[in-house]
Amino acid sequence: MRTVRCNAQRGFTLLELLVALSIFALLSVMAYGGLRSVLQQHSITSAEEQRLAELQKIYLLMQRDLEQAVPRPIRDEYGDTQPPLSGGSAFQFTRGGWSNPLGHPRSDLQRIGYAWVDDHLVRYVWSVLDRAQDTQPLEQRLSDRFTGMEVRFLAGNDQWLTQWPDPATVRAGAPPPENLPRAVEITLHHKQYGDLVWLFRLPDS
């Protein structure tokens, strides 16, 4: 007598399929939420790194400029003699160390300026020290993340001034003084970080 075997295959029931799909959907939602959180955190971290890198670049630029200041007066567009460093909240000064890798016949001195213009921190560079009437500076906009800038100058008597040279010591008709302040304090009002106070010591004049 022959025995007949039946290989019956049992599939999933509708209820089991629904349960499996529900678990898969829940895991997908959890995974997407975690991925979105990671991406958002990465975006926030990248933006923060960019802001900090921008601040570091500005600080190093100001440090390099001010720590190479030299007591060299200039003549402005009108032929008037201007002191090595002059100004208040917007100021300019003469600095050395202008690299010349190609050996062009020019000075290694530059006239540099910083100002707050149209909601931007701006750096100015003049290609010559004694200017002609058509001399225009190169304008470099450093950042729009600030809301203002304040500057103070430390005099030799340890007094902080908001204007340099000190108007009280400048005699009418006398040539402008050629001395530099001992230090320059720059306060930048940042939109995210509040007030940033940077102190730069100048070379002995």
Give the CATH fold of the 62-201 domain.
Pili subunits (3.10.610)
Cα-Cα-Cα-Cα dihedral sign, residues 57, 184, 86, 203: negative
Banded pLDDT at 23 (limits 50, 70, 90) = confident
What is the DSSP pairing of strand 194-201 with strand 146-154? unpaired
pTM (two decimals): 0.75
Mean pLDDT of 106-127: 92
Give the pLDDT score at 7: 54
List the helix and strand counts (H, then E) for the chain: 1, 11
When pLDDT is cut at 50, 70 and 90, the band that residue 24 belongs to is confident
Query: Is 119:61 a contact under the CB 8 Å cutoff?
Result: no
State the average pLDDT over residues 18-44: 75
Token pair, residue 137, equals 């500076």
> How many whole angstroms separate alpha carbon 174 and alpha carbon 197?
34
User: What's the confidence (pLDDT) of residue 47?
Assistant: 77
pLDDT value of residue 3 = 55
Reduced to 3 states (helix: H, G, I; strand: E, B; else coil), residue 88 is coil
Query: Per-residue confidence at 172, pLDDT binned at 50, 70, 90?
Result: low
SS3 for 171-192 is CCCCCCCCCCCCEEEEEEEECC
pLDDT band at 121 (very low <50, low <70, confident <90, very high): very high
What is the model's pLDDT at position 123?
Answer: 97
DSSP state of 9: -
Helix (H, G, I), strand (E, B) or coil at 66: helix
